[in-house]
């Protein structure tokens, strides 16, 4: 697969498509776009992280930016570092849930948000043109290291008015953590211990060697599911390599469901601070249900973290997230954060005096199906196909914000074109997996 270039950064297999030249090119474009100022740079634990960090930091210095190195740390901690240092931006070196041979640049603005479409296009345009501003020897940027960013992040979580460390500590929780040997291997257990939790570490050596597929999906989490049950843990917590996504395992070793991380976060936040919520179009209807329980509105955005953040800000939502295990708490920073998500979940369980399984069983239950349509055999492009779907179901509740989403009484189907492959992704949801698959099949058969 070739280098993946988007408004939020670049991603590829190091040494094949992600090369030192590419790193210099895009970093120089970003530094030129910032026109100086401080940039916080952090990375996950990948083996190539150190060399990428060296290249990126030197390039930023050459464009006149002052660099603050955060070292191996979660993506949300870098975001907090941007706020701490009142920085012009931030760079996280991580390929998220991609395998260990991958690496990437993720770019933040001065608000610690991922670049939006307009900002990203400006950086990409500079990269394409190669019009970089390099400084003379007496104006190059400085470089320093901040070893306290993780502690700063943790303290800001503890300072939230609805997080009561003593209340959590009273429950003597034992929690297993699988950080897939990634960027949250140190920070997440440290935060949990600050809440008085006994932590059982699984795959928490930040060496960049992932012991299983690093995406926090049920088929990849056999180790922690077994461990939680055999060792009488109250909860299992799983992150991806850069620590922004959060998945949960109940005390019986059963996967909580990645869609339900944000649902639980919504439930907790709305019990403390009434207001609207926001999520993306492909997230579970359970997000609507839990929001409506508090007589509030759940707003839907195009898929993509920054799109959710923008809708959250526009609508004044008090909490947002994504169904992939993303919790976005604007009281902390405008990005997904497994650390604050974990604290919120533990606070909820402690206050309601309920087990993880008992709480999960109290939530509305839905099942999803995820399929794809290969376009090469249909003789149409993605836009044509999406238009056909919208026309065929024009009498239903149709949303064209991001592809085509059709809301039926019994569930929904969402068609989105891929940015990297000649396919259309088809997500559907209903009360059971079989019903979700049948719902998607009925739409697909009509257009085929």
- pLDDT exceeds cutoff 70 at 16: yes
Which of 165, 218, 171 has the alpha carbon at shortest distance from 356?
A: 171
How are beta strands 102-108 and 4-6 bridged, if at all? Answer: unpaired
Does the active-site annotation cover 357? no
Mean pLDDT across the chain, nearest whole number?
95
pLDDT of residue 222: 94
Please state, in angstroms and as integers, the Cα–Cα distance from residue 11 to each residue in 4, 239, 420, following that order: 5, 20, 12
Over residues 403-420, the mean pLDDT reads 90
Which of 92, 104, 86 has the alpha carbon at shortest distance from 19?
A: 104
Over residues 274-293, the mean pLDDT reads 97
Q: What is the CATH number of domain 153-249?
A: 3.40.120.10
Catalytic residue among 8, 45, 62, 96: 96
Q: 247-270 burial, b if ≥16 CB within 10 A, otherwise e? A: bbbbbebbbbbbbbbbbbbbbbbb
Alpha-helical (H) ranges within 195-232 are 222-230
pLDDT of residue 20: 96
- pLDDT exceeds cutoff 60 at 11: yes
DSSP for 25-60, written as a single string: HHHHHHHHHHTSEEEEEEE-S-TTHHHHHHHHHHHH
| Helix (H) / strand (E) containing 76 | helix 75-84
pLDDT of residue 138: 95
Number of neighbours of residue 383 by Cβ within 10 angstroms: 11
pLDDT digits (tens, 9 = 90+) for 57-101: 999 999 999 999 999 999 999 999 999 999 999 999 999 999 999
Which of 186, 200, 247 has the alpha carbon at shortest distance from 220?
A: 247
Check for a shared fold between 4-146 and 367-447.
Answer: no
* Token pair recorded at residue 166: 């003593």
- pLDDT exceeds cutoff 90 at 261: yes
pLDDT of residue 448: 64
No. of helices (H) and no. of strands (E), the chain: 15, 20
Over residues 294-320, the mean pLDDT reads 97
- pLDDT exceeds cutoff 60 at 1: no
How are beta strands 298-301 and 319-322 bridged, if at all? Answer: unpaired
Percent pLDDT > 90 in the chain is 88
Q: How far apart are CA 361 and CA 390, in angstroms?
A: 36
Over residues 228-241, the mean pLDDT reads 97
pLDDT of residue 368: 94
pLDDT digits (tens, 9 = 90+) for 243-252: 999 999 999 9
Which of 57, 17, 19, 61 has the alpha carbon at shortest distance from 41?
A: 57
Domain ranges of the chain: 4-146, 153-249, 259-337+357-362, 367-447
Domain 4-146: which CATH class? alpha beta
Number of neighbours of residue 417 by Cβ within 10 angstroms: 19
- The three-state secondary structure class of 261 is helix
- pLDDT exceeds cutoff 90 at 38: yes
Domain 259-337+357-362: which CATH class? alpha beta
- pLDDT exceeds cutoff 70 at 337: yes
- pLDDT exceeds cutoff 90 at 384: no
pLDDT of residue 103: 96
Over residues 110-132, the mean pLDDT reads 95
Over residues 348-359, the mean pLDDT reads 98
Percent pLDDT > 70 in the chain is 98
Residue 6: pLDDT band (50, 70, 90) is confident
Half-sphere exposure of 141 (CA within 13 A, CB side): 28
Q: Name residues whose C-beta falls within 8 Å of residue 2's C-beta, 6 or more positions apart in sequence.
A: 12, 17
The fold adopted by the segment(s) 367-447 is: TATA-Binding Protein (3.30.310)
CB 298 within 8 A of CB 342: no
Q: How far apart are CA 300 and CA 279, in angstroms?
A: 5
pLDDT of residue 240: 96
């Amino acid at each position: 697969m070739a280098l993946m270039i988007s408004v939020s950064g670049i991603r590829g297999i190091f040494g094949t498509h992600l090369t030192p030249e590419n790193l210099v090119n895009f970093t120089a474009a970003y530094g030129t776009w910032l026109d100086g100022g401080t940039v916080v740079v952090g990375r996950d634990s990948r083996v190539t992280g150190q060399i990428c960090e060296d290249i990126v930091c030197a390039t930023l210095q050459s464009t006149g930016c002052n660099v603050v190195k955060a070292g191996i740390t979660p993506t949300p901690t870098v975001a907090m570092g941007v706020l701490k240092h009142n920085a012009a931006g931030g760079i996280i070196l991580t390929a998220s849930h991609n395998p260990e041979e991958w690496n990437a640049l993720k770019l933040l603005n001065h608000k610690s948000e991922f670049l939006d479409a307009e900002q990203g296009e400006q950086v990409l345009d500079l990269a394409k043109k190669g019009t970089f501003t390099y400084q003379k020897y007496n104006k190059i940027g400085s470089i320093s290291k901040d070893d306290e960013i993780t502690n700063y992040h943790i303290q800001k979580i503890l300072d939230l008015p609805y997080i009561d460390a003593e209340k959590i500590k009273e429950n003597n929780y034992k929690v297993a953590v699988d950080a897939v040997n990634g960027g949250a291997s140190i920070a997440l257990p440290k935060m949990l211990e600050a809440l008085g939790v006994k932590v059982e570490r699984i795959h928490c050596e930040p060496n960049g060697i992932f012991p299983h597929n690093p995406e926090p999906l049920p088929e990849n989490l056999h180790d922690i599911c077994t461990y939680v049950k055999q060792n009488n843990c109250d909860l299992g917590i799983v992150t991806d390599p850069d620590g922004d996504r959060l998945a949960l395992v109940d005390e019986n070793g059963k996967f909580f469901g990645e869609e339900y991380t944000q649902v639980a976060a919504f439930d907790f936040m709305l019990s403390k601070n009434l207001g609207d919520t926001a999520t993306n179009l492909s997230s579970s209807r359970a997000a609507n249900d839990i929001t409506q329980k508090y007589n509030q509105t759940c707003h839907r955005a195009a898929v993509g973290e920054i799109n959710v953040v923008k809708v959250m800000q526009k609508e004044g939502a008090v909490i947002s997230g994504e169904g992939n295990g993303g919790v976005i708490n604007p009281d902390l920073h405008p990005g997904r954060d497994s650390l604050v998500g974990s604290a919120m979940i533990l606070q909820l369980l402690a206050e309601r005096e309920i087990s993880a399984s008992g709480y999960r069983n109290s939530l509305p239950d839905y099942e999803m199906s995820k399929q794809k349509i290969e376009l090469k055999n249909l003789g149409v492009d993605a836009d044509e196909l999406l238009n056909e779907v919208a026309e065929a179901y024009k009498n239903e509740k149709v949303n064209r914000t991001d592809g085509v989403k059709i809301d039926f009484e019994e569930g929904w189907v969402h068609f989105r074109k891929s940015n990297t492959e000649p396919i259309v992704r088809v997500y559907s949801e209903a009360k059971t997996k079989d019903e979700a698959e049948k719902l998607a099949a009925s739409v697909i058969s009509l257009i085929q």
